[in-house]
Amino acid sequence: MGVEERESLNEIFETSNGVLFPHGFDALRNGRFRVREFEKAFSDKFSCKHTQAVTSGTVAQLVAMVAMGIKQGDEVITQAHTFVATVESILAIGAVPVIVDVDDTYNIDPISLENAITSKTKLIVPVHMLGNPASMDKILEIGKKYGIPVLEDSCEALGATYKGQFVGTLGDAGVFSLDFAKTITTGEGGLVITNNSHCYKIAKEFHDHGHESNPNFPRGRDTFFFETGSKVT
């Protein structure tokens, strides 16, 4: 870390008393909501409607899968060449990882992908390993053909593009890692991005212990939302 980074850290304490939480501590934060500011800046840069910050890339995938309706017993197809967290997240949700081969891109092989699809397949997770984009045109075509959503694991590819478009923005949702080894770091951290407002709503509330952030209630009496659409105070 250099002078610029140290000055930036000091500024957090000088202007908003070190408050980094995305909500609360209004008397101390002097109107600065840094997490929300970062989410908006990311959405603007990547031309996506919604960005949700979470604690890691692993959690980002877990939150995204919950928001996309993946449940215990569902099959999730991903690739053999990946970081272990991709499969850990699938297992953590109780889903079944289906591992397929890679092609010359060193990412998911579309032929192997299509051959692995069954009636239980509910999600496709291509991984843009080491900043190298997967063959998204073919992957998205297969997803559309079978009515299966695509979640892009872009944890190692923040800023990479595929045919002029940022990876993570091509599928139904994308996830990124912000740990210290990544292109942009928050020390630890991750992001879920999507243009689907319902997916974002579930992701936002699931990562925050179910809080709906209803402005008409204090946080301790917040409302929460069920996927059935009912609301409870």
Residues annotated as catalytic are 182
CA distance 67 to 201: 8
Q: Say if strands 121-125 and 75-79 run parallel, antiparallel, or are unpaired.
A: parallel
Please report the beta strands in the chain, taking only residues with DSSP state E, as ranges in sequence order: 50-54, 75-79, 96-100, 121-125, 151-153, 161-162, 165-166, 173-177, 190-194, 224-225, 231-232
Q: Which of 162, 37, 55 is nearest to 150 (CA)?
A: 162
Quickly count: other Cβ atoms within 10 Å of residue 168's Cβ: 28
User: Which two tokens mark 187?
Assistant: 């020390």
Residue with tokens 């951290």: 189
CA distance 126 to 148: 13
Report helix, strand or coil for 208: coil
Calculate the dihedral angle through the C-alpha atoms of 42, 206, 148, 50, rounding to the nearest 10 degrees: -20
CA distance 62 to 218: 28
